[in-house]
Amino acid sequence: QEQLVESGGGSVQAGGSLRISCVLSGFADTPDMGWFRQAPGNEREGVAARDKLGFITYLKSVKGRFTISLDNAKKTLYLQMDNLKPEDTGVYYCAAGYIDAKSGSWLLLPNLYNFWGQGTQVTVSS
């Protein structure tokens, strides 16, 4: 049974940093993985993603501030978030699936992922 469990959210002032984690279990092979966020009243959007071969892509507004990484030994996906802004506030979800993306942008499409974590709240105050 595939499972994703996030942790590490919290509240921080603008300019601060947070790292959120997602432990994966039950996957037979390394899946494509991504971080998504959803603010109240907004659609869920892809923030950062890593395909099974290690290709990485970011939402334009977080590029240079966020870093996605995978610790294979710990089966844990991380999102390091630096220089956080109030507009980064939302519930952050990790997701996994087997997408066969034809371009990097596909990895940021939430409807292509089959497995989701429960979400962790990130709040950035000004």
Task: Tell me what the mean pLDDT of segment 73-86 comes to.
Answer: 97
Place of tokens 């509240």: 11
* pLDDT > 90? residue 65: yes
- Give phi and psi for 41, each to the nearest 5: 85, -5
Identify which of 96, 84, 90 has the alpha carbon closest to the alpha carbon of residue 23: 96
Query: What region, left, alpha or beta, does residue 111 occupy, with left being phi > 0 and alpha being psi -120 to 50 degrees?
Result: alpha
* Contact by Cβ (8 Å): 104, 91: no
Task: Tell me what the mean pLDDT of segment 89-93 comes to.
Answer: 98
Q: What angle do CA 83, 64, 8 make, to 5 degrees?
A: 50
Check residue 104 and give its pLDDT.
86
| Confidence band of 70 (pLDDT split at 50, 70, 90) | very high
Check residue 103 and give its pLDDT.
86
* Contact by Cβ (8 Å): 34, 48: yes
